[in-house]
Amino acid sequence: MGKIAFVFSGQGAQYTGMGKELYDCSPAAKAVYDMADSIRKGTSTQCFEADKAELSRTVNTQPCVFTADLAAAAAVAEKGIKPDYVAGFSLGEIAALGFAGVLSYEDAFKLVCQRGQLMDKAAQENKGAMVAVLKLTPEKVEEIAARFDKTYPVNYNSPIQTVVATTEENVEALMEAVKAEKGKPVKLAVSGAFHSPFMSSAAKGLGEYLADKQLNEPTVEIYSNVTAQPYSGNYKELITKQVESPVQWQKTVENLIDLGVDTFIEVGVGKTLAGLIKKINKEVKVFNVENKETLEALSI
C-alpha cells in the first residue's frame, strides 16, 4: 500500500455551516471547535451561522477555516487513519503545523488569528487584487506578469492554473493580456494581494509575534509552501516568509507523489485542493472530508 498525505484547505472555500456536521458527529472535531471558542469566543457560531460576507473578511476567514480544517483532520484521525505526510495551502499550512505538533492546537489557533489580522491590515494599507490564470503554463504566466509593474505569480496551483497578484489598476490590462495568449483570467473575490510583496508588513509582524514562541519538531513530516520541501532549518522564518512568498503547490504535490504518496485526503472546507491534485496527477486517489457523509464514505 502507498502512503497517505493529509492536505489542509486554504482561504476561499469557506461557506456557511462549514464543519457543523463533524462537530455533531465527531467528539474529536467538537473538541477542536471548543478549543477555538475558548480562545476566540463565537468562532464555532461564526463557522455555522455567519453569512458569506462575514466569513469572507480575512480576520474571520482565517480562524474559521483553520478550525474547520483541524476539526476534519481530527475526525479522520479518530477513525484510525493517520497520514505519512501533511501539507496545507496558505493558511491551511498553519492548521497542518498544529496537527503535526509543531505548535499546540491552542498556539496554532492564536497564530492564525494573528496572521489574519496582520494580513487584513496589510491588504488595507497596500491595495491589491488577485487573478487566477487558467489554460496557460506557469512559464507563460510568468512571462505575462513580467510585462506589468508590481505583478507577481503567487500560487503555482497546477500545470494549467497559476494565480497572479497585482494592483487594482493593472487588473483589466492583465486580464486582456491573458486572453490575448488564449488563457482564461478569473478575478478572485479576495480582499488583498496575498503571498506577494504586498504582504511584507504582515510577514514582519508575524516574525515579531513568533520571536518568543516555542516550536517543536513535527510528529509527522510537514511540507512548506515556500520550498515545496519538508520543514527544516528555521521554522519561524518559513512561517513568516510564507505570507509574502508564492505557494509552490504543484511542486509540493509532485514531491509527495515521488515519495510514494498515492492517497491524498483534503481535510477542511470544500474540494479545491482535491481538484488541483487531480489536475497534477490523474493516477492518485483523492478524497475530501468536510461533513458526515464524506467522513463516513472515506474508506482506505
pLDDT of 12 reads 83
pTM score: 0.95
Alpha carbons 212 and 194: distance in angstroms, whole number: 25
With cell 507523489, the residue in question is 257
DSSP H or E run through 178: helix 171-180
Torsion sign over Cα 14, 20, 25, 28: positive
Domain with CATH 3.30.70.250 in the chain: 133-187
| Cα three-residue angle 214-220-226, rounded to 5 degrees | 70
Q: In the predicted model, is pLDDT for residue 151 greater than 70? A: yes
195: left (phi over 0), alpha (psi -120 to 50) or beta: left
CATH of 3-125+196-297, one of 3.30.2320.20, 3.40.366.10, 1.10.8.620, 3.40.30.10: 3.40.366.10
Per the annotation, the verdict on 90 as an active-site residue is yes
Q: In the predicted model, is pLDDT for residue 83 greater than 90? A: yes
Q: If you average pLDDT over residues 282-293, what whole number do you get?
A: 95
Nearest alpha carbon to residue 155 among 232, 25, 271, 242: 242
Torsion sign over Cα 221, 222, 226, 232: negative
Q: In the predicted model, is pLDDT for residue 51 greater than 80? A: yes
Alpha carbons 42 and 34: distance in angstroms, whole number: 10
Torsion of CA 261, 82, 107, 65, to 10 degrees: 70
Mean pLDDT of the chain: 95
pLDDT of 1 reads 65
177-223 residue pLDDT tens = 999 999 999 998 788 899 999 999 999 999 999 999 999 999 999 99
pLDDT of 37 reads 97
226-263 residue pLDDT tens = 999 999 999 999 999 999 999 999 999 999 999 999 99
Per the annotation, the verdict on 232 as an active-site residue is no
Expressed in percent and rounded to 5, the helix, strand and coil fractions of the chain are 50, 15, 35
CATH architecture group of domain 133-187: 2-Layer Sandwich (3.30)
Domain with CATH 3.40.366.10 in the chain: 3-125+196-297
Q: Is 17 exposed, middle or buried (0-12, 13-18, 19+ CB in 10 A)?
A: exposed
pLDDT of 185 reads 97
Q: In the predicted model, is pLDDT for residue 300 greater than 80? A: no
Cell of 15: 461557506
Nearest alpha carbon to residue 40 among 20, 22, 9, 62: 62
- Considering 158, 195, 196, 224, which one is annotated as catalytic? 195
- Considering 9, 26, 44, 90, which one is annotated as catalytic? 90
